[in-house]
Amino acid sequence: MQSTRRLNIRPRHDFTSRFVAYNLFDSFGILVNTAMRVTVSDIIDKKNRGEKVTVLTAYDYAFAPIVDAAGVDIILVGDSMANVVLGMQSTQEISLDEMINHSRAVVKGSERAMVIGDMPYCAYQANPDDAVTSARRFVNEAGCQAIKLEWFDRALEVTEQIVGDGIPVMGHVGFTPQTPDEPGSSKVRGKDVEGARRLIQQAKALESAGCFSIVLECVPWQLAKIISEKLAIPTIGIGAGVFCNGQVLVLNDVLGLFRRFTPKFVKKYVDIYQESLCGIERYVQEVKTGVFPTEKQSFSLPQEVLKELEKSL
Ligand code: KIV
């Protein structure tokens, strides 16, 4: 696809570093890349050094800087946004435009972490011939460094095409929310020998197709350990135990912001819902009772203007 974007470089003033860093902006003013972002080779090197890869989702300009500042290696703009931000029942419902808009906000709100855009169902599974064009939009329009896609029957072919176009791909096997089997059935995948062998094959095939890492979702920890040992690229677990090379969780679960359901693999680290509720209740109370706003939050007219105005009325 022909791109008409012009790129320009602006220096970034980083007072914490002795090194000059540069941000790359496109003609729309979107941050494309920085010299200091985590790269694909940084992620693979971590596995080689036996260091864990930390991944967390974020969906907007408010939370991206917090996740970035906390030292997360990869910010995933997951299509879990459909459930936890947009209130949809299924991740199948979210559009490519929605994913691109939010990915762009996350890129703008972060400087250091790698940002991965999650390909929504409509962008590749509904019509695999659109896959490369969809993936390119995450890079060109949002400024993402890579994309993620879930396993489906044409996952290998689509991965090869996207990687062939120069875009790094993170795979995703095990439970794949875009194509869950029957609702309510156990989410855990690879529990019998046949299922376990199938998952090992899928992970190995995705590695051969060019993925630089693979999410293992809802996989017994013993099987996740086998897969992690068989692959050269890092495995990123979610409900897949401690032997994966890295971990991912949904931000709104970690912060206690999503209350519709809580999967077994979630650990809540802070209760932002309760904190927010207390703060907002105080606001409502203070507005009702006239405690807020005070003079401090008000603008005032000069005395002479007020006198003049009152005379003229
Ligand atoms: O959409 C998402 O948030 C994900 C992760 C949970 C892996 O796919």
Average pLDDT value for residue range 175-190: 84
Q: Classify domain 37-270 at the CATH superfamily level.
A: Phosphoenolpyruvate-binding domains (3.20.20.60)
> Exposed, middle or buried, 243 (CB in 10 Å: 0-12/13-18/19+)?
middle
> Is the model's pLDDT at 15 over the cut of 80?
no
Give 34 Cα–ligand 1 centroid separation in angstroms: 25
Buried b (16+ CB within 10 A) or exposed e, 13-22: eeeeeeeeee
Q: Please report where in the chains the tokens 């999503």 appear, as a residue.
A: 258
CA of 217, closest atom in ligand 1: 7
Q: What percent of the chain has pLDDT over 90?
A: 86
- Per the CB < 8 A criterion, the answer to whether 236 and 213 are in contact is yes
Residue of minimum CA distance from atom 8 in ligand 1: 78
- Write down the pLDDT at residue 69: 98
- How many whole angstroms from 159 Cα to the centroid of ligand 1? 18
Structure tokens belonging to residue 254: 């970690």
Domain ranges of the chain: 37-270, 276-312
Q: Is 81 in the pocket of ligand 1 (CB under 6 A)?
A: no
Give residue 77 CA to ligand 1 midpoint distance, Å: 8
Q: Are 21 and 8 in contact (CB under 8 A)?
A: no
The residue whose CA is least distant from atom 4 of ligand 1 is 78
215 lines ligand 1 (CB under 6 A): yes
What SS3 state is found at 117? Answer: strand
Question: Would you name the residues annotated as active-site residues?
Answer: 217
Q: How many Å separate Cα 211 from the centre of its chain? A: 17
Q: What is residue 272's predicted lDDT score, i.e. its pLDDT?
A: 97
Mean pLDDT, rounded, for 193-210: 98
Q: Is the pLDDT of residue 35 over 90?
A: no
- Greater confidence (1 vs 278) lies with 278
Q: What ligand 1 atom has the least distance to the C-alpha of 79? A: 1
- The residue whose CB lies within 8 Å of the most ligand 1 atoms, and thus the one to mutate among 53, 57, 266, is 57
118 lines ligand 1 (CB under 6 A): yes
Tell me the pLDDT band of 19, cut-offs 50, 70 and 90.
very low
What is the residue whose two structure tokens read 């064009």? 133
- Amino acid in position 75: I
At 40, give phi and psi (nearest 5°): -60, -45
Better pLDDT: 17 or 87: 87
Local confidence band at 32 (pLDDT 50, 70, 90 cut-offs): low
Which of 220, 226, 246 lies closest to 44 in space, CA to CA?
246
For the segment 248-261, the average pLDDT, to the nearest whole number, is 96
State whether the beta carbon of 248 lies less than 6 angstroms from ligand 1.
Answer: yes
